[in-house]
Structure formats: C-alpha cells, structure tokens
Structure 1
Amino acid sequence: MFDRLRQRLRAIRRFFNRTFTRGPALLRRMGIPFSPVDPQRRGFVVVQIDGLSYRRMLRAMRHHQLPFLNSLLKSGKFKAHRFYSEVPTSTPAFQGGLFYGSNDNIPGFQFYDKRERYYYRMGYSDCAHRIEQSFQKPGLLKNGSVFSCVFTGGAEAALFVFSTLLAPQRWRFVFRVWDILLLSFLNVLVIAKIGLLVVLEVLLGVYDSLMWFLQRGTIRRELEFIALRVILTIVTRELITLGAVIDIYRRVPVIYLNFLGYDEHSHVRGPDSAVARWTLRGIDRCIERIYKATLFAEREYDFFVLSDHGQCAVLPFEYLTGETLGEYLQTQLDGLLVESHTQKDSRGAQITATLEGLTRLERSMPRLFRRPIRAYIRRMQKKLLKEQAQEDLDVLLDVFVVSSGPVAFAYWTHIERPLTYEEIEQMHPGLTDRLSTHPAIGMISMRTASGDVIVKSRLGRAYLGPYSVRTEGWLPFDRSPNRKRIMEDIRRLTLYPRAGDICFWGAGSPSGNVSYSYELGAHSGWTDDETGAFILVPPHITWDFSSVRHHTQFYDFFRRYTLEEDFAAQEAQRVG
C-alpha cells in the first residue's frame, strides 16, 4: 500500500516538474533538445571526488565537512562500501578501467614509451587523446555527458576533459545565442555566487600563501596554487555542476563528473591540510544540487558517489636530499647523460603539445573564430623552431627519469626493449644495491630474465612469479593487510611495457613516505591510504563493491545499464 502511494506521489511530482518548473519545462519551452534515449530506461549519475580515501571520507563526515553525504548515509538513502583501488592508484588508470574496461600499460600519470620514444603526461591533451584512441572496447558513457575527467568514455558531450581539452564537444547540442543569454539571465544568482566565491577564494589564497611563507620560508608554486584554487575550487566546480544539472533535466541517460579540487589541493598542502578539507564543503554542496536535480528529472536515475583512490602524506625526495632523483642517478651513472621529466617538460615540449591541441580546436570551431586561431598557430610554430634548435639533447640522452608521485621510472632510452635486472647489473655493477639502500627510497622493482619481477629494499628482497612468491628479509609492504594484492600489483605494473627499466617506490623508506615529485600529498603507490577508496550507492543496489579487485570491474557493473534488459530497474523491483 505504502509503495503504491509512494509511486503515485512520485508520478504527480514528475508531472508537475514537466509542466511548470524552470528545469525540464523551461528547457522544453526554449526548444533545447532532449536526449533521444528512451526516458523509461533507467540512467545513472556518477560523481567522483578525486583523491579522497575511505578513511578521510568518514573523518570528513564526522567533522561536518560532508554534511549532505553524511545525512544521506544516516537516512539510509546511501550505503557506503570500501574497495581496494589497484596500483597504480592514479586517475588515468582508474578511468581507463571504468570507462573502457582496460587500463593495461598505464603505469601512472606520467611515463615514457621507449618504442615510440614518446613522453606521456596525462594532463596534456595530446597524450590523453593518444591513449584514449588505443582503447578497444566501447566507451561506457555512450549517449552521455562527462565533465572534468581524463578521458571521454565515448560521451557525446565532454567539458574540461583532458583528451579533448582544446577541442571540447560541448557545443554538439548547439545552444542558440538567445538560449545562452536566457539561461545566463535565469542563473544570474549562480553567476553572482561564482563571482563572490572567486573573490573570497583569492583572499583566502593570499592569506594562506602568506602564512605558508611565514611557516616554511618558501613561496614555491604559491602564485600557481592561488590560480589553481580559483579555477578548480570555484569556476570549474560550479560550471560542471551547472552542466550536470542541465543534462539531468535534458534526460541524458549517463552522466559522469569529477571534482578535482580536493586532490589538487592535497598535492600542494597535504591530504589533511585545512585548505584540502575546505574544498570538501563546496563539493558537498554541489553534490546536493546534482542529487536534488535527479529527484525532479523526467528520467529515473541511480546516483553514485565514489573516489578513484586516496592520498598519502609524503615528503619530497628533493626536500629530503637536496637533489632530484634524476640528479642523484646522474652521480651514480658516470659517463651517462641522465635527464629527468622536469627537464624534459621543456618549453619546446609544451609548445608542441599546445600546437597539436590548437590544430584540433581550429578544425572544430565555427568559421568566424578560425582565422585568429590560425594566426596564433603560425606564431607558435615560429617559436617552436627556435626552441627545437636548442633541444637536440634527446639524441644524446642515455637515461630518462619520470616521476609519478611516490612511483618513479628510469628508462635506458637507447635500448628500445625493456631491460632486465641481470642486464642492468652487468652494465652497472652494484647500482641496484646502492639504489635500494638509499634512505629516501623504499624499494625498487625490475624485470628478470626469467620473466618474473625482483623487488629489492634496504632490508630484504622478493621474487614475484605468476604462481609463486619468494621473500627474504623485510619489505616495506609486509605490515599491510593487503600484502598479497600489493605484490600482485607491483608485479603487474613492473611488467608493463611502458614501465621503467627500474621502478622506484617511495613509500616505506627510512625517511618515511617519499614522493619523487615536489608535493606534500601523493598517490600512485601501494599504501593503505592510497588504495583505500570508497563508493556510495543507493540501497537497492546489492552488488558487492567491497569485492572489487580491478578497476575494470566497475566497467562490467555499469555496462549493465546499457544492455537491453534494464538491470537497475530489475534490481530495484527485486529488492523492493
């Protein structure tokens, strides 16, 4: 009886929304196109809070930093699951697995391909685009929208997505000029709110940077950090929230958005810092707006909130030792030229990446805007010629070091195939022993001639085979409750063709948890804070997320929404 009454009230509410509200009804009166996908099919909305671990999520709820999510949990509208986020604990690997069911050969956020002689940094549009083109399975987000992610997942509309950053697909829905003006007028309060929040965030950023300088005596990256706070904490967050709400009203069946603010602020200040926790309040308010929009939508949605990984508090290798990992390797490899990614990430590389993105942007822009973009491209091409004249160093380069947070890779670039432990020892006797006993290196891993992986640390070593493991002494991950999974992940990652000839792991070093980038919060490694992620799901979803072992399992779960049978509706009916 109560179920029938609840369904009747829901139907009345939806009729009222279709007819009178400024949500779906307004868009319909404006002539803005709705999704052609059958509105009777159940959709889903996934909100990702980048970098927030399960443990810190619970603590944020206790400290009233996620009050709306906490209220949903307490009221029984959500269930919380902790799951193991496989190594590498990085967003490209997670979203590759979730969006395309494949994240093999993505060893981190940054890496190098020896065969292609190509340096991948997933924040670059051309690099993310190149990786996305290599996926074989259909994208999870077909007919949907995606906001602020690494890949599009096959979505028809993508905004602030790295793989299409300079060629966004948002205008495929073709809003007319008066549509944009009318929407802007009706959302004048949202625009005013963004303006006020920007001013507030700038003032807070200046104050925070001043206090940081007084405490630490350094202003490294502070101006960049203030800009980052404004862009990610306010502008991007509010725009993707508004975009998601509009697409919910447009009945878009699949919507995925990622809030980056907490993760980025944690990198700079640490995952437990006041500025990182401050961003969670704003994210929580945005999630509330999106969730409430699903209640007034013409399509039934299942709503999910998840994280891709956590973050670990770290100290930079450079801060501890006074030199970068590349500079340290240079002292150990006499006669060889070692270059780190900070040098490789030169102005010439940046200009090349920008030119490729601008070329794609120019092709997708209306004709009116193409001429000034072409003029800017010609100007950039002239600059590139000057830079390339000074960048012939690659021909002489012997070893290239790439950092991906607490995991770093060293590549011997003149040998196209991956090197083995035995070959490295033959070329540089005693090198691996010196590296594994360094006070700011937790352990190193390498391929062996037999096809297995060897792990060496200050106090022990391990031989990781496909069916057996042999350990000697003590290793940094021995006390972890996920020890077996960690060894499997280290073996898998080390054997990736794009992983380094030597893989460096900073966690568990004698100096504490170490990052090979200059940051105070990091991920990509194996610590419990990094692998302990979460997902909040509606109560009628009975799938056991705590059993997740690989990111690709999320792809298998969410793909059920796109099958002929409506999996989510069946689940709801069965449980109800």
Structure 2
Amino acid sequence: MLRGRWRTTGRAVLRVIIVWLVSSLTLLALAGILPDFQLQSDDGDTITRTAVTAGWGAGAFGLLSALVWPLLVRALLLVPALVLGALVFFLNGSLLLIALWLIPDGRGAANPETAVVVAAVMSAVASATSTALAVGDDDAYRRRLSRLADRRRRRSGEDGGMGGPPGTVFLQLDGVGHQVLLDALANGVMPNVAAWLGDTPTHRLTRWRTDWSSQTGASQLGILHGSNHDVPAFRWYEKDSGRTMVSNRPASAAELQRRAIERTGDGGLLTLDGASRGNLFSGGADELAFVLSIAARRGRSNRSRAGYFAYFSDPANAVRTVVSFAAEVARETGQSLRARARGDRPRVSRGGLYPFIRAFATVLERDVVVAAVIGDMLAGRTAVYADLVAYDEVAHHSGPHSRDAQQVLARLDRSVGLLVKVADHAPREYRIVLLSDHGQSPGETFEGLYGLTLKDLVRAGCGLPVSRRAERTRSGAEARSAARHAVRHALHRPVRDGAEDKPAQGSDPVVLASGNLALISFPDVPGRMSREQMDARHPALLPTLADHPGIGFLLVRGEAHGSVVLGRGGVEVPVAELRDGEGPLAGMGAGAADAVRRTDTFPHVADIMVNSTFDPGTGRVHAFEEQIGSHGGLGGQQSYPFLLSPLVLSPPVPHIPHSPEAEAGHPAELAGAEAVHRVLRRWLREGSGPQVPVGLSAVAAGGVPRQAEAPADDVPAAADPRPAQDGVPPEGAWRQSG
C-alpha cells in the first residue's frame, strides 16, 4: 500500500512538473512573439536566465490560478453569468500581472492588454496539458472526479446518494426528430449514440407523437409537469385577460407552470433531489440554471450564479467558451454567405443578431448546461433534466437536414459521450435517457412562397387595408429568448415580455404564428367567436383562408352542430367525425384527428386555428414565421420526436400480443407529452423505489411540494380532487422517493 501511495504521489508530481515546463515554454514563446511582453531586463539576459524567469512566471501564475482563482469566482457569484464570463479575461490578466510582479528583479513586464492575451493562452495550454495527461491516466482522472464530487457533497452537506439506487439523467436534444436521429446514426454523425444501438444494444429507440402543438412549450410542460392542457400553440391570445401568452417569455412560462401544478396537484417530475438545466420549466427541481419560468423572479434560488461555479472555477473553461463563441459566429457568417452565393432555396435571413444567437445556443448554453449536468452527476443527484437547444436553433435557419445542422448533431454527440464518461466516475450509477420534444419539418415559408404574410391575407379577407411592407413574424426559437433574457440579467435590466404581450387594441384580428400553425382571434368578441358570427361580420374571410393553396385546414366553432374543420373546395367535416388520413387531415398522420379534437376543448383555443398545407411526398410544410425548418402544427417529421432509453428500464409502450399493431410489427404508439411524463415517472419509480403523495396544500399556496415521509408502498394522495379510475389514483398524485 505504501509503495502504491509513493507511485501515485510520484505521478502527481511528474504531471505538475510537465505542466509547469509546458507553461514555461509557452511563456517564452509568447515573449518572443508579442512586442509588449518581456521576460528580460532592459540590458538583456542569457538564455538560461530568461528560462529561469519564465519558470518563475509560469509557476507563480499556476499557483495563483489554483489558489486565488476559485476564491475570486466564488466572491463574484452574485455577478450574473454573462458578466462573469466577460470578467474572466480581465481577472485572468490581473493574475498574470501579479505573477510577473512576483518574479525577482522585476524582469517580467506586460501592458494590461497583452497580459489578457498571455493569460488566456497560458490557461488554455495548461488546461489542455493537464487534460491530456489525465486521459492517459485513468486513476488520476477518477481521483480528480472523486475529489470534485466529495467537495460538492461537503459543501452541500449531502451524502450524494453514495451506495443508493441509480440516478437518471434525461437529456433533451431540442428539435431532433426521430427520422433525423436515424439518419444521423446511419451516416456516422453520432457515433457515441450509435454505440448504444450497436451489435450489443444497451438502449431502445422509440418514436413518440406530439400533440397538435408540436413545440417545446407544450411538450416540455407536459413532460416535466404532467399537463399541457390549454396550451394550443407556441403563442396565443387570451381574451379573458387581454394578453398574449408566449411560451418562451418568463412571465408566460411561470404562469403555464403554475396552471399545470394547479391542474395536476403535483410539483413536477424533479421534485425529489432534482435539477433542471436549460429548460422552459423547472419540473419542481431545487437546482436550477437557465430555467425560463423562474427568470422573472430574482432570489437566492434562481440567480444566474446557480450552476456556474463549477464551470467558471477553471479559467480555461471561460477562455475556451469565448473562443468557441467567436469561432461559431464566424462559422455562421461563412455558412450564410456560401448559402447565399449558391442560391440555396429555401432560405431565410441569417443576418443581424442571429450569428450571436446561434453561438449562444450552440456554444454558451451547451457548455454551461453540460457542465451543470456533470456537476449534478458528481454530486449524485437523483434526477436531472437538461435541454440542449443547439440543433433546433440552427435547423430553423439552415434546415433540419442541412450540413450545418448535421455538424451541430456531431458536437451534441460529443457532449453525450462526455456525460457517459463522467457517469463512470459518479458516486452512483446513472441511467442516461436521450429524448426530444418535437421534430422539424422543412419547407419554404408561407410569405416566401406566396408573397404575403398570413396577417396580410387575414386583413384582406376582412376587407381591412393591407400594408405594402410585409410584416415579418419574429422567430419563436427558444435560444433567441434565452439569450435575450440572459443579457437582461447580465445588465441587471428588468425582464420584459415584449410588445407581443401588450393588450390588443380595437377590433382588428390578432394573428399569431407558431411554425406552420397560426391562431386568429377577434379581441372585441367575448368568448370563442362562432363561424356564423364570422360569416355575418366578414363573409369573405373563411372562404379566403380555406381555399388558399398554402393552407391545409381551419378549425372553427359552429353554433348548430359544434366545431367543424374546413378545407379547400368547400369541404366541411364536424370535429366529431374527423378521421385520420381522410378529408382535410389526409397525410397528416395517425392521431391527427384526436389531436385536433383535444385542442378544440381548450378554454383558450383561438377563434380560427390554421394549419398549413403538408406535402406527404416531400415532407414540406409552410411556416407562417421566418423559418425553413419549423414545428408547431401538424404535418411531417415535426410531430415525431424520439425516446432513447436503457434496456434496464421497462419499455415505454408495452407489447400487447395479438393486437393489430403487434401483428403488423408495430408497437402501440406513445401519444402526447403527458404520456411521456407518465413513462418517465415510471422509470424514476423503477430506479428510486416507492412513491410519496404530494401535499396539495403546498401547491395551492403557490409553493413546490417537498418530500414527505415515504410509505411502505405507493399510497394515493387523499386530498387529490380527481376521481380514481378503476381503483387507480391519478398519475399526478405520485412523486418518486429515494
């Protein structure tokens, strides 16, 4: 044992010496390259003397980085994350100036601007060297991860789940459809994920179907909180309050989360020792970072510092992220120029702030979320749900099957591989589940194909003046809003929900787009306007919309026979008589009729629900906003995300022998985000034992329910107002216990 300790100590000392030597050589090289950086006296020094000076400087800078830097970051955790990221270079440069000041005889000197550059390079080189050495020494890597985990547990006072049941990481690849994943695996784009489905598979791949509203707001609310009732689209107008709800606005996200908790009587999927990273909703977790539903409030539980310390405690992380951010901006600019030069169609504008928004999604959000998940795994948290929005943002502007999007998938695959490696060193076993919230369908925009926006068409059908200048609909991508609100937090500006949340004025129709789904409301008419009222007020409107070649079908309420779906050529089908694959729903896929019927029951369904046309041969739809890869309605791959789960977990959908689906070789379909929530809860039960009921009194008071005393077996929540069915209490009445 003593011999082993000496060997371990010797390896550690050798690694320190190697990093020191490499850093010294880097310092010498920089002194020779940069004119304002010197390691010699004014009279000049011998090579030996200069090398000693470089060694002094590299050693001092390394010690300061190891000892002082974590203290500086901890002291600055009250500073929002983006500001801290910008301060990294200033602080790192300051440490280098101090290190040069500590060199005997004052032989080290640099102006502040040069010190920032030198410090960044030194941190990156030292980090790369340490990582390379650790990769070659599995024991060292394991010890480093163990030390990090022990340190986190000591700070939190937790046992980290040592020796406990397995933990679960749910990693959402935003917008990656089932078919896109299959293509990426077949083309070798995602080798780490492909290994799970290789010759000896460890995971199973399941396709599931979204609701009519195939977008993150509806899907993630249903997945994390068990209910997406009354979420008809990404954005919609509510007549009773006179406001527009937008899923990726903090105030709207907070309200949607409150409604879901009130409806289910449950705090969410992550109420027991959970962490929520990069999501629209918290899922009831205590550990939060980049969670939009809590961005409108500022308190100890949701400041920007949450989840950032482990990332910024290494200055090389911030250096690497900022350099990658700049490289991504340049990459997007180059790709956009090449697409324009080639004359690619369809194409949307990719200028303005978009390159920076893309870099935020593909670099900053990815790096911070992955680092936070790594920290959660090292701390042994029971359940983690994280969303990586990179693919979704790029696919909106470059197309879901574009080379740009494929490159993003490859980088996301490397993030998955990193988490798999970390799981081997976590204090408990982890089951990693990959899933997506929706897919994307390609196609030319409605405006690009027909030369006018849907709003223009609606106004023309109402006999209202149409602006000569088309009014573009702002993209609803999650990363755009997350980036904007992150900047507002960084500048300590109040969070505002934008012009879209202003009450509607007058009798003009409100037209809101959600991908290839649009909602039209008349704010001056109380309640849901009927077809008969519209015909009397604007007789040309419904025929104009229904017969347009870019519109697939409309949903409106009828006074005599209930709601009807309208299609081209005067086709009218009562909602109760809708059939998949028939009439206006031809080609929309299985489950489309049920999805339309369900949305028709929502209290805030629009006066007119509009779904674009869908071409089954090409898979194309026409977004009513500026996106060539879109989602939000029915039609094509946008409705089919995936669930990739370990085989040790029960199948998402049970195999029913002798059923028509089984005999046809197809399992029963997992339909709707709420069904996915029930599957994920079941998996948490399988890993974490019996459930505990949620106290509805805490929910009613606006709080997130806490863990109660675990009974011996699953016990229904006595206060749950919803009736049991066949003796089985409602799913929302349970919460996983450790």
Query: What is the Cα deviation at residue 213 of structure 1?
Result: 3.2
Distance in 1 between the 2:304 and 2:447 partners? Answer: 49
Asked whether the equivalents of residues 460 and 474 of structure 1 are also in contact (C-alpha less than 8 Å), the reply is no
Q: Structure 1's 165 and 507: CA in aligned 2 closer, same or farther, altered over 3 A?
A: farther
One-letter code of the match for 2:646? P
Query: Is 1:43 equivalent to 2:172 in the alignment?
Result: no
RMSD over equivalenced CA pairs, Å: 4.0
Distance in 1 between the 2:333 and 2:303 partners? Answer: 39
Query: Is 1:395 equivalent to 2:505 in the alignment?
Result: yes
Alignment of 1:283-302 (within 5 A): 283-302=412-431
Query: Is 1:81 equivalent to 2:206 in the alignment?
Result: yes
**Which among 605, 609, 622 is matched to residue 499 of structure 1?**
605
Q: For residue 8 of structure 1, what is the aligned residue in structure 2?
A: none
Q: For residue 28 of structure 1, what is the aligned residue in structure 2?
A: 150
Q: Structure 1's 309 and 355: CA in aligned 2 closer, same or farther, altered over 3 A?
A: closer
**Which among 176, 180, 186 is matched to residue 56 of structure 1?**
180
Query: Is 1:311 equivalent to 2:419 in the alignment?
Result: no
Q: For residue 555 of structure 1, what is the aligned residue in structure 2?
A: 677
Q: For residue 250 of structure 2, what is the aligned residue in structure 1?
A: 125
Report SS of the residue matched to 2:643: strand
One-letter code of the match for 1:273? S
Report SS of the residue matched to 2:352: helix
Q: Structure 1's 330 and 460: CA in aligned 2 closer, same or farther, altered over 3 A?
A: closer
Query: Which structure 1 segments of 5+ residues have no match?
Result: 1-15, 346-352, 362-368, 571-576
Which segment drifts farther, 542-551 or 201-210? 542-551
Q: For residue 340 of structure 2, what is the aligned residue in structure 1?
A: 213
Asked whether the equivalents of residues 42 and 301 of structure 1 are also in contact (C-alpha less than 8 Å), the reply is yes
Alignment of 1:334-413 (within 5 A): 334=463, 373=492, 394-413=504-523
Report SS of the residue matched to 1:128: helix
Query: What is the Cα deviation at residue 211 of structure 1?
Result: 1.7
One-letter code of the match for 1:198? F
Which segment drifts farther, 315-324 or 541-550? 541-550
Q: Structure 1's 509 and 529: CA in aligned 2 closer, same or farther, altered over 3 A?
A: closer
Distance in 1 between the 2:317 and 2:540 partners? Answer: 62
Distance in 2 between the 1:333 and 1:45 partners? Answer: 51
Distance in 2 between the 1:108 and 1:227 partners? Answer: 27
Asked whether the equivalents of residues 145 and 158 of structure 1 are also in contact (C-alpha less than 8 Å), the reply is yes
Deviations 1:186-224 (A, max 9, x none): x45544432442233222112112223334598834232
Report SS of the residue matched to 1:23: helix
Deviations 1:268-309 (A, max 9, x none): 121111111111011111111112222221122221001111
The alignment's TM-score, normalised by the length of structure 1, stands at: 0.80
Query: Is 1:65 equivalent to 2:189 in the alignment?
Result: yes
Q: For residue 646 of structure 2, what is the aligned residue in structure 1?
A: 538
Which segment drifts farther, 553-562 or 146-155? 553-562
Query: What is the Cα deviation at residue 174 of structure 1?
Result: 11
Distance in 2 between the 1:393 and 1:78 partners? Answer: 48
Query: What is the Cα deviation at residue 514 of structure 1?
Result: 1.0
Q: For residue 6 of structure 1, what is the aligned residue in structure 2?
A: none
Query: What is the Cα deviation at residue 86 of structure 1?
Result: 2.3
Report SS of the residue matched to 2:627: coil
Q: Structure 1's 446 and 25: CA in aligned 2 closer, same or farther, altered over 3 A?
A: same
Query: Is 1:146 equivalent to 2:276 in the alignment?
Result: yes
Alignment of 1:86-125 (within 5 A): 86-125=211-250
Distance in 1 between the 2:191 and 2:300 partners? Answer: 32
Distance in 2 between the 1:176 and 1:323 partners? Answer: 45
Query: Which structure 2 segments of 5+ residues have no match?
Result: 1-137, 475-481, 654-667, 692-712, 714-738
Distance in 2 between the 1:176 and 1:406 partners? Answer: 36
Query: Is 1:163 equivalent to 2:293 in the alignment?
Result: yes
Distance in 1 between the 2:637 and 2:150 partners? Answer: 46
Distance in 2 between the 1:559 and 1:18 partners? Answer: 37
Which segment drifts farther, 51-60 or 507-516? 507-516
Structure number with greater Rg is 2
Asked whether the equivalents of residues 565 and 575 of structure 2 are also in contact (C-alpha less than 8 Å), the reply is no
Q: Structure 1's 83 and 332: CA in aligned 2 closer, same or farther, altered over 3 A?
A: same
Distance in 1 between the 2:604 and 2:416 partners? Answer: 37
Distance in 1 between the 2:351 and 2:603 partners? Answer: 37
Query: What is the Cα deviation at residue 429 of structure 1?
Result: 2.2
Q: Percent identity?
A: 22
Query: What is the Cα deviation at residue 236 of structure 1?
Result: 0.9
Query: What is the Cα deviation at residue 257 of structure 1?
Result: 0.7
Distance in 1 between the 2:588 and 2:640 partners? Answer: 12
Alignment of 1:171-570 (within 5 A): 180=309, 184=312, 187-216=314-343, 220-334=349-463, 373=492, 394-450=504-560, 452-459=562-569, 461-466=571-576, 468-469=577-578, 475-482=583-590, 485-508=591-614, 513-545=621-653, 547-560=669-682, 566=688
Distance in 1 between the 2:514 and 2:325 partners? Answer: 31
Q: Structure 1's 286 and 451: CA in aligned 2 closer, same or farther, altered over 3 A?
A: farther
Distance in 2 between the 1:412 and 1:202 partners? Answer: 41
Query: What is the Cα deviation at residue 183 of structure 1?
Result: 6.3
Q: Larger relative contact order (C-alpha < 8 A, sep ≥ 6)? A: 1
Q: Structure 1's 201 and 469: CA in aligned 2 closer, same or farther, altered over 3 A?
A: closer
Distance in 1 between the 2:542 and 2:393 partners? Answer: 33
Which segment drifts farther, 489-498 or 142-151? 489-498
Deviations 1:246-269 (A, max 9, x none): 110001111011111111111112
Asked whether the equivalents of residues 89 and 525 of structure 1 are also in contact (C-alpha less than 8 Å), the reply is yes
Asked whether the equivalents of residues 439 and 638 of structure 2 are also in contact (C-alpha less than 8 Å), the reply is yes
Say how many residue pairs are matched.
521
Asked whether the equivalents of residues 35 and 253 of structure 1 are also in contact (C-alpha less than 8 Å), the reply is no
Which segment drifts farther, 231-240 or 78-87? 78-87
One-letter code of the match for 1:125? P
Query: What is the Cα deviation at residue 121 of structure 1?
Result: 1.4
Asked whether the equivalents of residues 514 and 633 of structure 2 are also in contact (C-alpha less than 8 Å), the reply is no
The alignment's TM-score, normalised by the length of structure 2, stands at: 0.63
Report SS of the residue matched to 2:648: coil
One-letter code of the match for 1:502? I
Deviations 1:492-537 (A, max 9, x none): 2233222211111113279962111111011112223112221111
Query: What is the Cα deviation at residue 488 of structure 1?
Result: 1.3
